[in-house]
Structure 1
Amino acid sequence: MEIQALYIKAFGGLKDYSLRLGPGATLFYGPNERGKTTVLTFIRAMFYGLGERRGQDSLRERYTPRDGAAMGGNLWFYHEGVQYEMSRSFGPRKGLDQISLIDLDSNRLVEPFDPEQPGKELFGLAQEVFANSVFVESSGPRVRQSGGADQALWETLSDFMVTPDAKVTAAEVQGRLTKAKLRLRSASGRKGEIPELTARVAEMDEKVRNLAAIQDEEAGLAEELDHLQTRLGALRSQEDSLKQRLSLFEYAEDRERLRLAQLPQTELAALEPEEAQLEQALEPFGADENARRATLNKLQKELQSLLETEQRVQMTRAQRRESRRRYQNILRIAGLALAVLAVAVLLYAYFMLQGDLRSQVMAVSAVGALIGILLYGQRHSAANWIIRGKSEAAAEARSTLDGRLQQFREDCAALGYQPEAGFASSASDSGTSLQPEEQATSNGLRKLSDLPALGIFLHSVEEMLEDRQSLAKEKQRLLAAARREEEALGGRIAFGQRLEIQRQALKHAGADPDTARVDYPAADRLAEELLLLQAERLTAEKQESETRVRLESLLREPGTGAAISPSALHWQMSTELREEQNRLDTLVQRWRALELAENTLANNLLELREKLLPRLAESAGGYMQQLSRGRYDTIQVTENLGILLRDSREGHYYSPENFSSGTEDQLWFAFRLALTDYLGEGRDLPLLLDDLFMNFDDKRAAEGLDLLAARAAEGQQVILLTCHKRIAKLAEERAGWSARTLP
């Protein structure tokens, strides 16, 4: 790979900054604060990003421009014969970063396999490997660990051949493995993160099961509550329907009550014409009941007296007729007897006597016969003459009776009596002539014939008085009934208004109140049915309330009473359980990996000792011999992976801590070159160096520059940035170096 040029839009203290790079070995000189470290960090960020760490170790925070400008820029490079242009912008966090990679030869956009760290694909190196091999920061060539020892343990083991930290021995690695394993699980298996997490997972799993059971119970209660509410809705609908039907019956009953309450008033109104008619008929009898009763009693007494008098007159008349008939019979018998005797004497004298005696006897007989005939013929007149005294008394009594009758008739006529026209006796009808006395009697009888009619009139008046009294009592009864009904209804008018409101409400509810009829048995049946339905509804409401209470208690945390959501808690607890289970699985996998690493560490160490480390030590020893001009010629790796350096003058091996910092930097630089050789097999890797020789004296720096120039001559791009003029001057004096000043 060859990096051709870069353009920094904004990064750290650099803005709108361009730098052209070239092949071979190039040294850029610039004083402090010129941006040499920023340039190298920018190149590294273009390939591996800025990460997500915060704080003083955060490259993103460290290189954010002070004016808040967006970080980003472009990088042009050759890789495997193809020219590329990479553009990147860095946001406040990793998720806002953007990258584009263009193949300039075909002018097409290339999608990186890892947009965050395209260097993995281009270099074939992880970021930590890149940072510990071809990229040297200003802190020197020492390899470094990423993060703490526990987190870096696997990186150290897996990348041991590229990150051989001399401070981490094999024994320490084994100790860390054992310590990490014991921290995860003790030898007894009862302590450690895994047992604790296992217990917690079991506890959480139990809670999840309980929550699932609660959730199932909640679903069951909710379904039961929904069923009860549906049932309650149906019961309430039936109850409303029954109430509406019962309301129709109640409306009909109330309407009937109102009608019955209005009956006394209706009957009172119907009684008024009859009362007025009775009052008009009884008005002549007096203004009040007592006067009318007194007048009626007086007339009744007079009528009774007239009837008694008439009876006496009738008896007297009958007696006179009997006396007349008796006298007439006597006179008829006497006359016939006298006539027969006179005829017999006459015949006797005519046949038996002679002479004057005969004549005398015959004359006397003739007179006797004549007298007998007269008696027979005038028997009626004679009888009347005989009883003439009694007839005069009867006529006088009749005259008095007629006067009283006439006065009574006039009194009754004044009170409204209307006699019937015409009167004819049986005698008139028969054509028989009446004697004067009998004619007078007949006239009296004709007058007396009004008495029954007058009696009927008075009786009718009495009945009218009774009717008036009954009418008054009925009126009082109706008035009392009307008052009672008024009180029972709470006011007939107000009751009627309420009844009309009830009627409108029923019509609004879709019922037809006008067709409602009173049906007490049906209403009673409906009332009983409604009571049963209400009892069933109350039972359902009680069940619904109990179910709701159970559901609410189920949805509250025991003890605190705080509202909870079993489904939400189940989801949350299940999520936490999955996370904890994943964490447990990760820990178990880590423990197994640690166990596997512990079991295979010996084999790995053996392999490192037998294959890789001797090769690295041999390659690094050669570079160290060139850098030290033969003083240090051999590097040895101990059984516990410690590094020893042989001093050719003394023939002894020493650990790096026994040498100066310059010699120690030479050792690590030699290892860097050896690692680069190892990693560069089949790869075209540049060397990016920041003040690599700051701890080197001029002699050692010159040796290092010559060594790097030789590598550049072999085709490897070397970019060295320094703030030391002596290093820049040495580079200018060395062959194969292009020394330039940073803009």
Structure 2
Amino acid sequence: MKLTKIEIIHFGKISEKNYDLKPDLDVFFGENEAGKSTTVAFIKQIMFGFHLKNNKSAFFEDYFPLSKASPMGGRLHFQDGEHEFILQRTYASGDSKKGSLKVYLDGQEVPENVFFDKIKNIDGDFYTDSFIFNQDMLTQVNSLNQNELMERIYFLGAAQSNKLLALRKDYASHAADLFKKTGRKPIINQLINELTDKKSEVSDISNEFESYQALLLQIKKLESEQKQKQAQLVDINKENQKLLLMKQKIKNFDEYQELQKQQKNIAFSPELYDQAQSLSLEIKNLQASLDSKMQYVDQLQKQLLLQEQVKKMQALVDQKAEFLQWQNEVSQLKRNIQQLNDEIAQIQTINPDISKIENLTPEQVSNLRNELQTLKSQNTNNTQKAAIPNWAGWIIAIVGLILAFAMHNFVWLVLMLIGIGLSIWTNRESKDKGAEVDQKVAFEQKYSLNSDTFDLDSTLNLLYQIQAKQKTVLQNEADLENLNSQIKEFEVQLAHLLQVNVSNQETVISSLRDLTQELTNQTQIKSKFEQLNQEIDHLKTQLKLQKQNLLLTFSKANVQDQAEFDELRKQSNIQAKLKLQLDTIRNNLGDDLDKIKNLESENNSIDQKLADLQKQAISYQNEISDLQAKLAEIRVKQDNLADSNELFNKKQELATLQSQLQDEMLDYLSDLAVSNWIGRSLDLASNERFPKMLVSAKEYFKLLTGGRYVDLKLDKKLVVVDDQGKKKEVQYLSRGTSEQLYFALKLAFVEQIADEISLPILIDDAFVNFDNQRTEYIVKLIEKLSAKMQVLIFTNRKELANDLNSSVINLSSEVR
């Protein structure tokens, strides 16, 4: 069966890698940490299951994806003749530790055993021991001492020889822990010593037990005598009891006669007494309830206020809405006053002239109007006239004078006359205008008003508006004062009624709330007061009726009051008790009543008999005490000796030790037998396969040693033959040569079982410590081995990879 392809999904640091393999030899080259050992572990674990970090086995079982990749695992392709097997094993969260395995034969999924039957159902440990050659294997070999290595070499022909040797060693070691001929610590040696000591103890206790039995016979004799004396004492006590009983009966008879003398006939009715008791209790309860309610009424009476005060409180509460209305009106009036004052100030700001005429009388206003109209009228006339400057006439006159020298017509004369006339006219107008200016200045000084810009009607209109608003403000202030007066009066009444300081709206509202609650309380108190008075009247009626019924009951019982009735009941109880005592004594005496009447005179004779019996009882009691003292003394002696229980316990302990020794001996003999049986089985298995292995092994050994050793022979012992023909027993070989021999035999073993188990050999840096000369030997060995079996080489030695006649898979360039 040849491995043809490796598909790695996720395993260790390797992800998504495929390798196609040849049927004879493939070389995987890579530096350290390139993934060589990871690939070897992948091949083994896909076939035999993952172990992960919490279940490590001997070789590379703690691989897990470095990233959060899922699933872990991959596939192996095997070619078996014309058929192809594909093994797919994956691991994801929730799977078993071995992962999930699927086996495909020619593309169809088949049960696992179809594949494993082909390889004889070997396990991962067998595959590791037989088909994997790596530094861990060499490390195991290096850890063996010379004798252990010789055993490994000799028994290599047996399948699972490493496990069997380890198992044989465990059984032999366990047998040595159980027993040693000269030892003291092994458990069997300890049990033998304990058993000897325990037998001595049992012998001593047996002797004590014989003495114990002798004392036991004495105890039985004394106990028999004691029982006889006790029986006689019992008879005396019985006779004494009879006499005492008779004496007591006589005494009871005397008491019986005395009680008969005290008997009286009392006319007492328990029914009437119970009725009186019930009525008395009911009267008592009614009186208590009446007193309680009257006390409660007194308390409520103190809490009730006078009707006049309640009316005042109610009136104030009824005014709450009106008070709140007052408060709202006060707030509204304050806002109105503030608004009107703001409007007045705004008007005065817009027209400052208002303040200059607001204090004028109507007559002064009329004069102001006339003077202002005169000024405005003059200003209008002046405006309508052409504004001709004074110097314009003189210019015209000068132009006329100049023309007089230049022209000889009358034009210059006309111009001179016009200029002179115009100058005269403008001069007169200028004087009139000056007078108007003087009038305007006088007006402004008188009224502090600008006649050109002052608008009297508009200013008066604004003044009238201000005066109207001021009047409204005065009216609002009067209303506000009136409302504040009413609020103050309300607060005074409220403060006087509640005897608290009421200074603002919040305290008023809070006080009114308290008044409302107090009125509610007064209503409830009044209602409860009236209800209690009704209940009190009803209780008084009931109390009067029950008292009448009680007096009627006293009359029927012929008593005056409850005290007399109680005394009558007391006498009745005394008589009932007397009757009960008489009946009891009569029943106790029974048929002996008549007999006792006759024995009353013999009371002294009974006393004498009792005294005699007492003396006899004391004598027997003393004798019994002496017997008990003797018994106690013997029992003390007996307690110091071993009894049957102690003897039985010691014998049980002896039997337990014997049984424990027998069990340990069986374990010891079993371990010894199994160890010997494993050794014998290894001998038989090795003797059967080992000679066949020597044929291939001597050829591999020759290659590994560079021809220094040329042959292997097996007689009674395994010997090697060097190139000089000299024989040497294996135990005398050097350590290095012994390891080479082990390596050669292991390869020969794999070759020997190839007809039944054909799987690839994995060599992982097993030759990392070999020098160049020995590497040449390895190259020849691998070429020879790959001609018979499939070999996968994993190495970090570039010269070895180049020397092998095969293509090289470079892992260093694929895994980082």
Shorter-chain TM-score range: 0.3 to 0.5
Greater fraction of residues in helix: 2
Higher RCO, 1 or 2 (CA under 8 Å, sep at least 6)? 2
TM-score w.r.t. the length of structure 1 is: 0.40
TM-score w.r.t. the length of structure 2 is: 0.37
* Larger Cα-atom Rg: 1
